[in-house]
A and B are shown apart, each in its own frame.
Chain A
């Protein structure tokens, strides 16, 4: 199994021995994970494995009780999430986090409170997602699930991320739509953004990822190239041994 190669430069994101939880209940029991610059890392695992919690720690929303969060080699444990966002750490949460009762355009306008110009935000969003351009006056909540996910991504990309976190992009979407979205993720990765994607069901994301990690019960159980991980994955989900 190929471990994630971090010899060249410090990875943009590194979690080291992270323990975290809610109240006195510990969910992560010492998570180690790295996202090297310019790569796509997929974090896979069943319901309740702690994937979203891991993301919460990475983006600064949840403070770990032990362990460290490093970004570009620097210890950023305990730094406020808005500080990280300002420096280019963007999260697209599970369930998308868009405003359903605002139009596409108004949703994009929300980014401009961070300082960007609406015209620029709209131009880049509609260039990458032409379908949003056609629907700029439509209420976001009335669009299809795939289009809503595109809007969430467009809004995230508008703040020029260096590190992008995607939580369950595929949730509730048809396989064809998921494939289309991952095509876009691959494009984003090629433009130099380092990406951590979280998924439960893995097939599509493995085609895009440079590395994949399997998480079970609050621990990263194995890390490697997608091809190696794929075999292990079915075993992990079925809870059995490798055939």
Chain B
């Protein structure tokens, strides 16, 4: 049934030689999850750091626990939260935009209807 199988082969070769990037939608949810993971890891680190600082009698030990535990932990929390906010906000705004479009369309319909009614008299 197939008179030119070489077209199929050519197509396969061309598709295979193509550069493909990861899809945007998948990336987005991956980054969202990364944000949550980072924030949780940071929180854990900060708590561990805090406990260690409390347990350490020596001021020098306390400082090093502060540096590795608390500060790094806080930095991770901030970075993770920023990622999370960025991508959940994107989702929310997309939804909101659709909602706005929908409302404005409904509004236009109402106005057109009202004008129609006014033009054709109240009866």
- Whole-angstrom distance between the Cβ of B105 and the nearest chain A Cβ: 12
Query: Are B2's CB and A38's CB within 8 A?
Result: yes
Q: Please classify the interface of chain A as helix (H, G, I), strand (E, B), loop, or mixed, using the class held by over half of its residues.
A: loop
- Does A214 sit within 8 A of B, measured CB to CB? no
Query: Are A63's CB and B8's CB within 8 A?
Result: no
Instruction: Tell me how many residues of B have a C-beta within 8 Å of chain A.
Output: 26
Query: Are A23's CB and B98's CB within 8 A?
Result: yes
Instruction: Tell me how many residues of A have a C-beta within 8 Å of chain B.
Output: 31
Query: Are A71's CB and B15's CB within 8 A?
Result: yes
Give A10's nearest chain B residue, CB to CB.
Answer: B12
Q: Which residues of chain B come closer than 8 Å to A87, judged between CB atoms?
A: 11, 14-15, 18
Query: Are B21's CB and A72's CB within 8 A?
Result: no
Query: Are A64's CB and B25's CB within 8 A?
Result: yes
Query: Are B18's CB and A76's CB within 8 A?
Result: yes
Docked CA distance A162–B26 (Å): 28
Query: Are B25's CB and A65's CB within 8 A?
Result: yes
Most chain B CB within a 10 A radius of its CB, from A74, A162, A190:
A162
- Whole-angstrom distance between the Cβ of B46 and the nearest chain A Cβ: 35
- Does A116 sit within 8 A of B, measured CB to CB? no
Given contacts A74-B15, A192-B3, contact A38 B8 (CB under 8 A): yes
- Does B120 sit within 8 A of A, measured CB to CB? no
Q: Which residues of chain B come closer than 8 Å to A193, judged between CB atoms?
A: 7
Docked CA distance A25–B102 (Å): 12
- Whole-angstrom distance between the Cβ of A45 and the nearest chain B Cβ: 25
Docked CA distance A23–B94 (Å): 7
Among A77-85, A151-159, A167-175, the stretch that binds chain B is: A77-85
Query: Are B11's CB and A88's CB within 8 A?
Result: yes
Most chain A CB within a 10 A radius of its CB, from B4, B12, B20:
B12
- Does B54 sit within 8 A of A, measured CB to CB? no
Query: Are B10's CB and A162's CB within 8 A?
Result: yes
Given contacts A38-B8, A71-B15, A74-B16, contact A190 B23 (CB under 8 A): no
B residues near A (Cβ < 8 Å) are: 1-5, 7-8, 10-12, 14-16, 18, 20-26, 94-95, 97-98, 101
A residues near B (Cβ < 8 Å) are: 12, 23-25, 37-38, 63-66, 71-79, 83, 87-88, 160, 162-163, 189-194
13 A-B residue pairs with Cβ-Cβ distance under 8 Å, sorted by A, are A23-B101, A37-B8, A38-B5, A63-B23, A64-B23, A64-B25, A71-B11, A72-B11, A74-B18, A77-B26, A78-B25, A87-B11, A88-B14
